[in-house]
């Protein structure tokens, strides 16, 4: 299988995960309050050398246990969104609740990369 075919399968698999987005959507301020572990993204050395900075916006699916199942970029330079998504996958949250029960949630998080 060629590299394009592998990439396409990966994109389709990620799309399938987000196609089943949870109904519980959490605003960034509330998500940050619920975060119990929030490691900052590493600034990619190539982006530093090229003096690329800026804001990246991401979405993540948070499982019922507060772990991040998947993170995807919404907006920003691809060199930076990749680092942001890798960091967001390490975040942990107090489980979100819907009707008094732990629920999967879609959260929005942004990171600012400053030189």
Residue 69 lies in a domain: yes
CATH number, domain containing residue 88: 3.30.2420.10
Residue 8 lies in a domain: no
pLDDT band at residue 47 using 50, 70 and 90 as cut-offs = very high
- pLDDT greater than 60 at residue 18: no
Residue 5 lies in a domain: no
Residue 9 lies in a domain: no
Using CA atoms, how far residue 65 sits from 21, 35, 104, in Å, is 16, 12, 8
Residue 53 lies in a domain: yes
Report the number of distinct structural domains present in the chain: 1
Using CA atoms, how far residue 62 sits from 5, 32, 49, 69, 76, in Å, is 28, 13, 33, 6, 21
- pLDDT greater than 60 at residue 60: yes
Structural tokens at position 94: 């107090």
Sign of CA dihedral 107, 47, 44, 5: positive
Range of the domain at 57: 22-113
pLDDT at 20: 57
How confident is the model over 61-104, as pLDDT tens digits? 999 999 999 999 999 999 999 999 999 999 999 999 999 999 99
pLDDT at 87: 98
Name the nearest CA neighbour of 83 among 38, 43, 50, 52. Answer: 43
Residue 4 lies in a domain: no
């Amino acid at each position: 299988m060629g590299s394009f075919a592998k990439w396409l399968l990966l994109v389709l698999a990620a799309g399938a995960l987000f196609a089943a987005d949870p109904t519980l959507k959490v605003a960034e301020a509330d998500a940050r309050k619920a975060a119990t572990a929030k490691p900052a993204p590493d600034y990619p050395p190539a982006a530093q050398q090229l003096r690329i900075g800026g804001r990246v916006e991401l979405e993540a699916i948070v499982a019922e246990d507060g772990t991040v199942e998947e993170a995807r970029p919404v907006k920003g330079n691809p060199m930076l969104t990749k680092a942001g998504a890798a960091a967001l996958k390490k975040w942990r949250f107090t489980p979100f609740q819907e009707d008094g029960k732990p629920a999967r949630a879609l959260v929005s998080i942004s990171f600012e990369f400053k030189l």
